Chain A
Amino acid sequence: MKFDTPATTNPIDQLKVVGQPVDRIDGPRKTTGTAPYAYERHDVVANQAYGYIVGSAIAKGRINAVDLAAAKASPGVLAIVTAENAGKLGQGQFNTAKLLGGPEIQHYHQAIAIVVAETFEQARAGANLVRVSYERAEGAFDLAAAKDSSTKPEKSSGGPTDSAVGDFAGAFAAAPVQFDATYTTPDQSHAMMEPHASIAAWQGDKLTLWTSNQMIAWGVGDMAKTLGIPKEHVRLISPFIGGGFGSKLFLRSDALMAALGARAARRPVKVTLQRALIMNNTTHRTATIQRIRLGATKDGKLTAVAHESWSGDLPGGDVETAVNQTRLMYAGADRMTAMRLAVLDLPEGNAMRAPGEASGLMALEIAMDEMAEKLGLDPIEFRVLNDTQVVPDHPAKPESGDPQSKKDGDQEQSNPHPPFSQRQFVECFRQGAQRFGWNKRRAQPGTSREGRWLVGMGVAGAFRNNLLTKSAARVRVDRSGRVTVETDMTDIGTGSYTVIAQTAAEVMGVPLEQVDVRLGDSSFPVSCGSGGQWGGNNSTAGVYAACMKLRAAIARKAGFESDNIVFAEGRVSSGSRSVTLAEAAGGQEIVAEDHIEYGDLDKKYQQSTFGAHFVEVAVDAATGETRVRRMLAVCAAGRILNPKTARSQVIGAMTMGVGAALMEKLAVDQRRGFFVNHDLAGYEVPVHADIPHQEVIFLDETDPISSPMKAKGVGELGICGVAAAVANAIYHATGVRVRDYPITLDKLIDGLPEVA
């Protein structure tokens, strides 16, 4: 099904099942521990051996020699694979560094060996006996130091690195009110709860991999490319994924090393990345330095907008696209953006939840707060004043990791300032302000005190694009009338199982309980996968397409000829004739497969999602400790397919935003070149005690430009702007402005009022 004209009324609009806050259909399995994750598949193949990965102890340089004698002699060890005996390996399209290092080492904890043994304990003990001698090379590990040597990258998967409209320099110089500040965001880690894990089994030259991967088709492609075998010889199975947030978009070393280990040991091999290896072995969100300049008239109209960002990555890597939202969010005639990339020898950077916007809004939305204060305006009124219903700058192309970014030739738009398909940005602030009690906020910072607590409220805008990507599904109705959906779509906690079941139930006119959903298997039709908040809208649109095809096939089979056929309550009806789905199937299974693909509606219209975050904090006047007391998100993100699971996506993202604001930072050892706090004790993420009750409001919205579902993404919108809202609330509470994340108490304490 090609979607190239705006959606009109369709079966989804019935909203009997879609749009309802139903419980997750996979809930009983997840809450009883019976949902099987990758490392837990004792059921799929016999005789599994255990692999344990050895990571490089240097960040850059070469391996001189590897002594495997002691490891090989260790009890239970079956095989050891290093670059020396792995055979020729390619490199995946989505990998910046090699997944198996040696002799050249590209980053700390790059995998250099796998030890396979009968048991986990034996594999771990064997791995500890691998002796490696290195020749360390000098590397660049400090973004601030490398900033001046950074260059304009030849290409960025997030679209053009630079943009310019009008004459920023002239307009900024002439602006009656000017603002210029620099912000920093640190390296961050996804820290999903399930470590990367895989079980690999070879049958002749064919590989089956039970793994934990957000993008099944990418994983198949990159495994085949790395091993140098045909794609058809690789099967990935990933029905349950213990969190991803971008860390599992790609083929990673657990999968490759399991495959290599299994080949060497001639047995199925299971591998999990040990927690302490993950943060340096895999990808992370890279640190940024961002400079924002704003020029405005005295009454608060922005006239000049500039956002520049510097980030670092390994050679061949990409920028963190932190300026992209600034091309789209606020009005202003003269503007520029630019991104520069420094070569750093830290582990590779890549997408983490809302790549680009999450980092960019951490800076931009503090800058907007600062400029509002400078203008003597309420921060909400300042944003309302500078709302725009058309794109003020060149729209950003889809970001890193988006399959669409592989298409060429869509750079130039016919309309330089396309309208937004929907933009209820102002309404998000209006409703939020009312619900949150914004009118009780005193303009003057540092003036609300409750005992030892300094209390403040902050707000920030949320923005994230809605990306359209082809997505396919297969749907069958069996002899009993049960509907089964198959697609390689994944559920990383997002609720894919549930919204897909709701979609099929709605279109096929059956109760939710009559639908089975099977996901995460490369033998199923290729979906959009889970990333970039495109999963919900695109995967359900693909299921919608397949269901519409199945309806036609059922109607044909049952001999209905009219155009006016109704699928409802498990029956197919037209005029006076009505049969059950089972009867219509006529004792046979009927199968249909289709996909959704898109025309140019995403070129004619800018499709984005919007929100406003409200936060109240209390800062201990004596210690500088920040406690988040209240949080509210208001989101305008098209039709909400399931308010219960969508709300969970948003509160989860708000929680991660609190982490970004207050605690998350990979500390770089700038001498040795690695992230020091590489586990869940050192890299602090929010825990129960950090998070208050969270409120979410979804504006009543449908977007017929986006897909037949009229939905958009929401899972990443939820994190966008949160950290800035926290930062702004802390400023409002204390009068101390911190521009370097995370906002830890040491950065506040000197500015706090004297304690008596």
Chain B
Amino acid sequence: ILTKVSFTVNGKPCALELDTRTTLLDALREHLRLTGTKKGCDQGQCGACTVMAGDRRINSCLTLAVMHQGDRITTIEGLGTPENLHPMQAAFVKCDGYQCGYCTPGQICSAVAMLAEIKAGIPSHVTTDLMAPPQLNLAELRERMSGNICRCGAYSNIAEAITDVAGRTT
């Protein structure tokens, strides 16, 4: 069964006719050929497919494309290019916050959205005072980034990269 759906990806309007079973992840990777978003598990366990729907980070493998009619999707390709890196991308390069690179787009999208969540005052599991605005500290960072697995084990460097960017933007 095919259905029409349209949304914007990285600011560009896209109109697709898709098998209703198509995930947002496969719509991006296979239909729009935006392969920067990675398929690590296809079952919501690894975070490699993290993109932003509106301002919110989601696992794009756990959501069907047709559920995003009219949404504003941002992928890793929408953050920066090799010639013009987003500050988070540049910080990952500087801090060596990756190795094989496969979880990296998800980590970066997640990190960008995560900093926005803290700014927006959204608490996490480790937030001690729910009445006060959450602060970015290492415990908050690690808790909020734990949906993004990096089997190469670059966590220590990823934390540095994110802290580096957060320090500059706040």
Contacts and interface: CB of A to CB of B under 8 A. Distances in A.
Check if A and B associate: yes
Interface of A: 23-24, 26-37, 39-40, 42, 119-122, 125, 190-195, 240-245, 272, 274-276, 492-495, 644-645, 647-649, 651-656, 679-681, 685-694
Given A23-B96, A193-B149, A688-B145, A242 B30 contact: no
Contacts of A653: 153
Given A32-B81, A33-B37, 6 more contacts: A29-B101, A33-B105, A119-B30, A193-B150, A688-B146, A688-B148
Interface string B48-82: 10000000000000000000000000011101111
Contacts of A495: 99
A37 B99 contact: no
Contacts of B82: 28-29, 32, 34
B146 A689 contact: yes
B99 A649 contact: yes
Interface string B1-42: 000000000000000000101100010011001111111111
B19 A680 contact: no
Given A37-B102, A688-B146, A679 B19 contact: no
B39 A192 contact: no
A193 B30 CA distance: 19
Contacts of B42: 274-275
A80 B149 CA distance: 34
A27 B92 contact: yes
Contacts of B148: 687-688
A276 B19 CA distance: 23
Residue in B76, B102, B143 whose Cβ sees the most chain A Cβ within 10 Å = B102
22 contacts: A27-B98, A30-B98, A31-B80, A31-B85, A31-B90, A31-B108, A32-B36, A40-B29, A121-B22, A192-B151, A193-B102, A242-B38, A243-B102, A245-B151, A493-B99, A493-B100, A648-B152, A652-B154, A680-B41, A687-B148, A688-B148, A691-B142
B135 interface: no
Contacts of A241: 100
A123 to B, nearest CB: 11
Contacts of A275: 40-43, 45-46
A655 B46 CA distance: 16
B19 to A, nearest CB: 5
B157 interface: yes
A193 B19 contact: no
Contacts of A274: 42
A275 B46 CA distance: 10
Interface of B: 19, 21-22, 26, 29-30, 33-43, 45-46, 48, 75-77, 79-83, 85, 89-90, 92-94, 96, 98-105, 108, 138, 141-143, 145-159
Nearest to A76: B19
A195 B40 contact: yes
A644 B93 CA distance: 11
Contacts of B83: 28
A40 B81 contact: no
B35 A31 contact: no
Given A191-B151, A194-B38, A692 B76 contact: no
B36 to A, nearest CB: 2
A35 B153 contact: no
Contacts of B145: 688
A275 B159 CA distance: 27
Contacts of A34: 36, 77, 81-82
A16 to B, nearest CB: 21
B101 A687 contact: no
A350 B76 CA distance: 35
A40 B34 CA distance: 9
Given A121-B22, A122-B19, A31 B92 contact: yes
B94 A23 contact: yes
A647 B85 CA distance: 24
B24 to A, nearest CB: 13
Nearest to A21: B96
A649 B151 CA distance: 11
B110 to A, nearest CB: 10
A380 B36 CA distance: 47
Nearest to B138: A693
Given A31-B85, A649-B99, A689-B143, A243 B36 contact: no
Contacts of B29: 40
Contacts of A30: 98, 101, 104
B46 A680 contact: yes
Contacts of B99: 243, 493-495, 648-649, 652
Contacts of B143: 688-689
A648 B108 CA distance: 18
A97 B96 CA distance: 38
Nearest to A631: B156
A302 to B, nearest CB: 33
A245 B149 CA distance: 15
A241 B148 CA distance: 18
Contact of B93 (A23, A656, A690): A23
A494 B155 CA distance: 15
Contacts of A192: 100, 102, 151
Residue in B96, B142, B153 whose Cβ sees the most chain A Cβ within 10 Å = B153
A119 B80 CA distance: 30
Contact of A120 (B26, B103, B142): B26
B146 to A, nearest CB: 4
A190 B92 CA distance: 24
Contacts of B103: 193
A616 B5 CA distance: 53
Nearest to B94: A23
Contact of B149 (A40, A242, A647, A680): A680
Contact of B156 (A191, A243, A680, A693): A693
A122 to B, nearest CB: 7
Nearest to A498: B96
Contact of A119 (B19, B85, B150, B156): B19
Contact of A644 (B36, B38, B92, B96): B96
Nearest to A494: B99
Contacts of A679: 41, 43, 45
A678 to B, nearest CB: 11
Contacts of B151: 190-193, 243, 245, 656, 685
Contacts of A36: 35
Contacts of B33: 42
Contacts of B92: 27, 31
Contacts of B21: 121, 125
A686 B100 contact: no
Contacts of B43: 275-276, 679, 681
A32 B89 contact: yes
Given A119-B19, A193-B100, A653-B153, A27 B39 contact: no
A125 B159 CA distance: 40
A104 to B, nearest CB: 30
A579 to B, nearest CB: 32
A40 B156 CA distance: 29
A689 to B, nearest CB: 5
A303 B59 CA distance: 57
Contacts of B76: 31-33
Given A27-B92, A192-B151, A692 B156 contact: yes
